[in-house]
Structure 1
Amino acid sequence: MESQLHFDLPVKPALGRGDFFVSPANALAVAMIDLSESWTGGKLVLSGPDGAGKTHLAHVWATASGAQIIAARDLPAADIPALACHPVAVEDVPEIANDPQAQEALFHLHNLVLAEGHRLLLTGRAAPRHWHLTLPDLQSRVEGTHHVALNPPDDVLLAAVLAKLFADRQITPKPDLIPYLVTRIDRSFDAAATIVTRLDRAALAEARPLTRALAVRMLGEDSADCDTT
């Protein structure tokens, strides 16, 4: 009887350049990250849905450029002049749409970083025009920043994302599992993350291998839940 041990280990995403799979859905964004010296005005906005790879690419860029990474919500407590001595990546900028103090800090950081001749990367789920920042000068500056988007995954990228999500959990799925999932789940990064988490938990709870049969059963139960008969 085949057996496979599962342990509830911390999820540690691999964030190196070699861990980011390039496909037509994200090739332009990857190229812009790799060519940061060519950013118009020294800055770039990177957008995309949750799980698309914004944080991953921010870390790739930080490793290559020596940049500091900070969450937008943490800016009020940060030493802005010290941050501006390096390239900076500010993540999840739309989260401060209702935080005047954080917006003011970002406005000053934006101006100082560029005045020092460094690069600035800003990330958010949507395009900058939808960030709805209430500080007009800041909103106008982000809308005037060159913007590149990470698009929803194609089949090849979705398969690679699933493989990475399993690898981050130190799981090696059976060879037929990922091709099955690609044809059955919603074509989104959220859906990929959700199914990997659910399969991992189910395998742990049942002390059984993570196989296509488990996925068939789980997705079949989901389908049954949607029946309206």
Structure 2
Amino acid sequence: MARQLALPLPVRAALGREDYFVSSSNSLAVALLDGWQGWPAGKLLLAGPAGSGKTHLAHVWAAESGATILPATALPGLPILELTAGPICLEDVPRIAGDRAAEEALFHLHNLSLAQGQPLLLSAETAPRHWPLGLADLKSRMEATQTATLREPDDALLAAVLAKLLADRHCIPAPDVIPYLLHQMPRSFAMAQRVAAELDARALGRAKGITRALARDVLLSLARRG
């Protein structure tokens, strides 16, 4: 039987409000984000493991608030005064730890944003007490920021995450694939991303597409790799 031509399509993540699935694992964080106009001191930290939806929620918030989204590592050299004229979201804040220029830039941005009444959203995988920041004044301000935590997924959320990751990759699994994965795979966002990427790669050119048998093979392969 002739194999289908493998044409890898670009991964395009859907980042709209309607594309974000709310469950018991993330409902409190979503509620805190929705209440952004009442954040204590005008700031919030969105914390959660890789793949938990921090970037997705940042884009939802930016669409509602008009915020600018930036990686924290981009701060040195940017016009801080201009940035603080509107809402700001800084992603992956712990990555600037040890970079004196970036830490000082965030310190000034933090203070100017709050002084001008502009909301500030930060994101990270962990709470600020775990960040090895060198600037003591910045560390104290980060630790005083209210935190909205995205937890590892429950069944409903993991199913939705798997479906979205596959849809972002233009993949349509057989009806029994996601229920099978829910019962067999380690329960984490990181694993969901690995599974989706592997299914996508292996499905290219397969006439049968993504089947339960392929899902089983992918899980066995990932388990062997560790």
Calculate the TM-score normalised by the size of structure 2: 0.94
Give CA deviations for 1:56-97 in whole Å, capped at 9, x if unaligned: 111110000000111000000311111000000000000011
SS of equivalent to 1:77:
coil
Displacement, 1:5?
6.8
SS of equivalent to 2:10:
coil
Give CA deviations for 1:137-189 in whole Å, capped at 9, x if unaligned: 00000100111100000111100000000111111111110111111111100
Output the amino acid matched with 1:103: E
In the alignment, what sits opposite 1:175? 175
Q: Residues 4 and 206 of structure 2 are in contact (CA less than 8 Å); yes or no, is this contact kept in structure 1?
A: no
C-alpha distance in 1 between matches for 2:78 and 2:163: 36
In the alignment, what sits opposite 1:54? 54
In the alignment, what sits opposite 1:13? 13
SS of equivalent to 2:45:
strand
Output the amino acid matched with 2:147: H
Matched positions, count: 224
Displacement, 1:218?
2.6
Displacement, 1:216?
1.6
In the alignment, what sits opposite 1:68? 68
| Sequence identity (%) | 54
Displacement, 1:206?
4.7
| Residues 14/222 of structure 1: CA separation in 2 closer, same or farther (3 Å cut) | closer
C-alpha distance in 1 between matches for 2:11 and 2:128: 31
Unaligned runs of 5+ in 2: none
Calculate the TM-score normalised by the size of structure 1: 0.93
Unaligned runs of 5+ in 1: none
In the alignment, what sits opposite 1:200? 200
In the alignment, what sits opposite 2:108? 108
| Residues 222/194 of structure 1: CA separation in 2 closer, same or farther (3 Å cut) | closer
Displacement, 1:220?
3.4
TM alignment of 1:1-229, pairs within 5 A: 7-204=7-204, 206=206, 208-222=208-222, 225=224
SS of equivalent to 1:76:
coil
| Residues 4/17 of structure 1: CA separation in 2 closer, same or farther (3 Å cut) | farther
C-alpha distance in 2 between matches for 1:195 and 1:87: 35
Displacement, 1:9?
0.9
Displacement, 1:131?
1.3
C-alpha distance in 2 between matches for 1:190 and 1:76: 30
Runs of 4+ in 1 over 6 A off after TM superposition: none
Displacement, 1:205?
5.6
| Residues 111/221 of structure 1: CA separation in 2 closer, same or farther (3 Å cut) | closer
| Residues 40/170 of structure 1: CA separation in 2 closer, same or farther (3 Å cut) | same
Q: Residues 159 and 178 of structure 2 are in contact (CA less than 8 Å); yes or no, is this contact kept in structure 1?
A: yes
Output the amino acid matched with 2:81: P
Q: Residues 195 and 219 of structure 2 are in contact (CA less than 8 Å); yes or no, is this contact kept in structure 1?
A: no
Higher mean Cα deviation, 208-217 or 108-117?
Answer: 208-217
SS of equivalent to 2:137:
helix
Output the amino acid matched with 2:18: G
